[in-house]
Each structure stands twice: as C-alpha cells, then as structure tokens.
Structure 1
Amino acid sequence: MDLGRGRGGAGVPAGPGARPGPAPGPAPRRPRRRAIVFAGAVVGALLVIVGAVLLVDIGGDGEAAPAAKSPSPSPSSSSPVLPAGVKCAGDDCSGQDPEAMGCGGTFAKTVSSVTVGTALIEVRHSPTCGAAWARITQAAVGDEVRITPSEGTAEAAAVEAAAVNAYTSMVAVPAGVTTQACATLTTGETGCTPAQ
C-alpha cells in the first residue's frame, strides 16, 4: 500500500472522515455582483423619476399647459374681462342704459358738474365700462339734459312726470375723447359742464 498517495495525492481521500477541499478554479466574484445590483438600482430610480416628470406634464400641472389653454391678454382685445354684473365696455355701451348695463353705482364717478337754476347737471364716467353719461337731479318735469362727446353721437334725456332726475344713455369715451353735459330747463335757463 502506498501511503504517500493517500496523504497528498490528487483525487484520493486522505482518510475515512476527511472532507474534500475546494474545487480548483477561479475565486468567486462578489464585487462584480454588487456592481450589477447597484447599477440596476440606479437605473430603476431613474425610471421612477422620468415617469414622475412625465405624469406631472401630462396632468397639466406645469406652466406650459395653462398658457396653451388661454391666450395672453392684449391691450387691443375686443372683449375685456368685466366684473360681475357689468355687461358692456367701450363702443358696446353706446346708446345703452348705464344702470341696466351695470356701469353705474360703484363703477362710476362724477367727473364734472354745474348747477343750472335749481338743477344739478353732472357728467358721470365709468372707467370700467369706458363710457360716460349725463345726469340731471333736482329738476322739474320737462327739463332736458344731453351729453355730447368730442367724437361721436350725443345722447339726450328729459325729466318725465313724477321724477326729479333723469340720465342719458351712455356714449363711449376712448382715450382722448372729452364729454360735456348740457341742460335746458323749462324756465328757459341753459348751462353746460366744463368739457372733461
């Protein structure tokens, strides 16, 4: 029996309880496996980020979507955004009743006035509506008031029975247009506001 072969010989066990040693070959590559797992995690994270960005843009929460839905306002817009209750602006107000169109009240102010006899004559202007009208108060039945713009058509009104005031329809007053209110009373008196 050859004892030398049993101790160190290749392929022969050393004895009855001996364990076989590691198989010859290359060493395991754990660092490479870690690099692959890390690269997979990075790619997965990037896919989640790209997906989130695309979902936000599709949902319309970004800046671009609202700009595409509504045009930007321009000074030459023919239909300005009006406050609730206001029904006209500019030329659309010409010949219209200022109260019925929502241009009076808090949207109007007196820009010039004059007293003729006992009547007060006013030019009322609504910057919101871009229009003006004449108003006469403390008047008598038959007294008349009119508003004349420096460009365009004049409007007139007369005080009717059981009233002590009256107002004309509106005239459009774009930039550079002035208006003047004039009254003719039944007493024969006349008078006009300064042009504004």
Structure 2
Amino acid sequence: MHRQQVVMFFAGLVGVGVLIAGAFFFTHRGGDGNPDAGARTSPSPSAPARTSPPPGVKCAGAACTGKDAEAMGCSGDLVSTAKTATVGTTTLEVRYSKACGTAWGRITSGAPGDTVRVTVGKARQTGGITAAGDTIGYTPMVAVHDPAQATACATLASGATGCTD
C-alpha cells in the first residue's frame, strides 16, 4: 500500500510539472509575453533603422563607398574588427563601422609594396602601403549591411597571399 502511495505522489508531481511547463510554453513563445511574437518576420535588412548618422560622421552606406573611413568619421570608437587572418607576418582584417554601414580592409605589420583588397559582392576597393617606413595600409570603404558579407585579401611584396574567410 505504501508503494502505491509513493507512485501516485510522483505521478501527480509529474502531471503538475507538465501543466506548468505547458502553460509557460504557450504564454511565452515570443519572449515578450505575446504568443504570436515568434510568428512575425524580421524587418528587411535593406530598411535602415537610423535616421541620421552620429555626430562627426559624414556619410552612410553607399554614400561612403570609395571614401576614406578616417576622413569620413567612420573609424575610431565607431569601428570593430569583423574578421582577421595572418599572411606571413602581416595581419589582415575586415574593419566594420555599423554607424556608417561600411567595411574596409586593413593590413598591419606590413611593408611598402603590400596591398590589401576588400570585396563585398561585386564591389571591390584596393589600397596598400606605399611610403617607406609605413607598416599599415587601408582600402577605401564599401557599403555593407552585414560585415560577414565582406572579404579582405592581401598580397605582400614577398609574394605571399591570403584572405579572410
């Protein structure tokens, strides 16, 4: 008789747990208490959410393509490194500015004659290190919605080549 009471107790406990879990699932599917929230589609990435760029930023998106990130106010605190690779002893990066909606390529620890290229779809910009003593080279910017779309490649004066994934 005692064993039957224990089994019934645990069966009731499991039943209550299932009811609580079901109630939670059906009332919190969208994460905000709205059961239909999970069914909504996300906004189109081509619809920009910002109305104006931050102070000091002189361009955004396609208006920045072909321009210098530093001169347009898109670098500094507004930039992050989206991808990195090493080519020889040179570091290759895809730099990304969310505020400007742009990406560009950068090489560091390079030498004169090293070149860097950034590609987003069919858009391509090239830059490099030209002055003696310089070790950093940049490409002009390319408009991009997602930094994962950008790829940077480097060709070093030594002949070594490589790209970010």
TM-score (norm 2): 0.67
Match of 1:154 in 2: 124
Identity within the alignment, %: 46
Match of 1:41 in 2: none
Aligned equivalent of 2:88, options 117, 136, 139: 117
Match of 1:97 in 2: 68
Report 1:40-79 matches (<5 A): 76=47
Q: Show structure 1 runs of 5+ residues with no match.
A: 1-74
Q: In structure 2, what is the Cα distance between the partners aligned to 1:130 and 1:160?
A: 27
Q: In structure 2, what is the Cα distance between the partners aligned to 1:131 and 1:190?
A: 24
How far the C-alpha of 1:77 sits from its partner, in A, is: 6.4
Q: In structure 2, what is the Cα distance between the partners aligned to 1:110 and 1:77?
A: 22
Aligned equivalent of 2:59, options 56, 73, 88: 88
Query: Computing the radius of gyration over CA atoms, which structure comes out larger, 1 or 2?
Result: 1
Structure 1 runs (4+) greater than 2 angstroms displaced:
75-80, 174-177
Q: In structure 2, what is the Cα distance between the partners aligned to 1:176 and 1:125?
A: 6
Q: What amino acid maps onto 1:168 in structure 2?
A: T
How far the C-alpha of 1:153 sits from its partner, in A, is: 1.6
Q: What's the C-alpha RMSD, in Å, of the aligned pairs?
A: 2.0
How far the C-alpha of 1:76 sits from its partner, in A, is: 4.3
Aligned residues: 119
Post-superposition CA distance 1:58-82 (Å, at most 9, x none): xxxxxxxxxxxxxxxxx84698311
- 1 or 2 for the larger relative contact order (CA 8 Å, sep ≥6)? 2
Q: Show structure 2 runs of 5+ residues with no match.
A: 1-45
TM-score (norm 1): 0.57
How far the C-alpha of 1:174 sits from its partner, in A, is: 2.3
Distance 1:177 1:123, change over 3 A: closer
| Greater strand fraction, Structure 1 or Structure 2 | 2
How far the C-alpha of 1:158 sits from its partner, in A, is: 1.5
